[in-house]
Structure 1
Amino acid sequence: MPDYRRNRVPGGTFFFTVNLLEREASTLVTQIDALRDAVRTVRARRPFHIDAWVVLPDHMHAVWTLPPGDSDYSGRWRAIKIAFAKAQPKTERLSAVRAARGERGIWQRRFWEHTIRDERDYAAHLDYVHINPVKHGLVTSVRDWPHSSFHRCVARGIYAPDWAGEEVPDIAGGERGG
Structure 2
Amino acid sequence: MSDYIRPRFPGACVFFTVTLANRRSDLLTREIAALRAAVRRTKTERPFTINAWVVLPDHMHCVWTLPEGDCDFSTRWSVIKARFSRAMPPAPRRASHVARREHGIWQRRFWEHHLRSDADKSAAIRYCWINPVKHGLAARPEDWAYSSIHRDGPVHWP
TM range, normalised to the smaller chain? over 0.9
Give structure 1 stretches of 5+ with no counterpart. Answer: 165-178
Equivalent in the alignment of 2:123: 124
Describe the superposition over 1:75-120 as per-residue Cα deviations: whole angstroms up to 9, x where unpaired.
00000001101100012x4222112333211001100000001011
RMSD: 1.1
Percent of counterpart pairs with the same letter?
53
Q: What displacement does 1:20 show? A: 0.4
The equivalences for 1:91-170 within 5 A come to 91=91, 93-154=92-153, 159-160=155-156, 163-164=157-158
Say if 2:29 is the partner of 1:16: no
Q: What displacement does 1:148 show? A: 0.2
Q: How many positions carry a matched residue from both structures?
A: 158
| Secondary structure of the structure 1 residue equivalent to 2:112 | strand
Equivalent in the alignment of 1:47: 47
- TM-score, with length taken from structure 1: 0.86
Say if 2:69 is the partner of 1:69: yes
- Measured in 2, the distance between the counterparts of 1:133 and 1:150 equals 11
- Measured in 2, the distance between the counterparts of 1:101 and 1:111 equals 17
Which deviates more from structure 2 when the two are superposed, residues 146-155 or residues 128-137? 146-155
Equivalent in the alignment of 1:35: 35
| Secondary structure of the structure 2 residue equivalent to 1:153 | coil
Give structure 2 stretches of 5+ with no counterpart. Answer: none
- Measured in 1, the distance between the counterparts of 2:64 and 2:52 equals 7
Amino acid across the alignment from 2:59 = H
Say if 2:85 is the partner of 1:85: yes
Amino acid across the alignment from 1:144 = D
| Secondary structure of the structure 1 residue equivalent to 2:122 | helix
- Measured in 2, the distance between the counterparts of 1:24 and 1:86 equals 21
Amino acid across the alignment from 1:96 = A
Which deviates more from structure 2 when the two are superposed, residues 130-139 or residues 94-103? 94-103
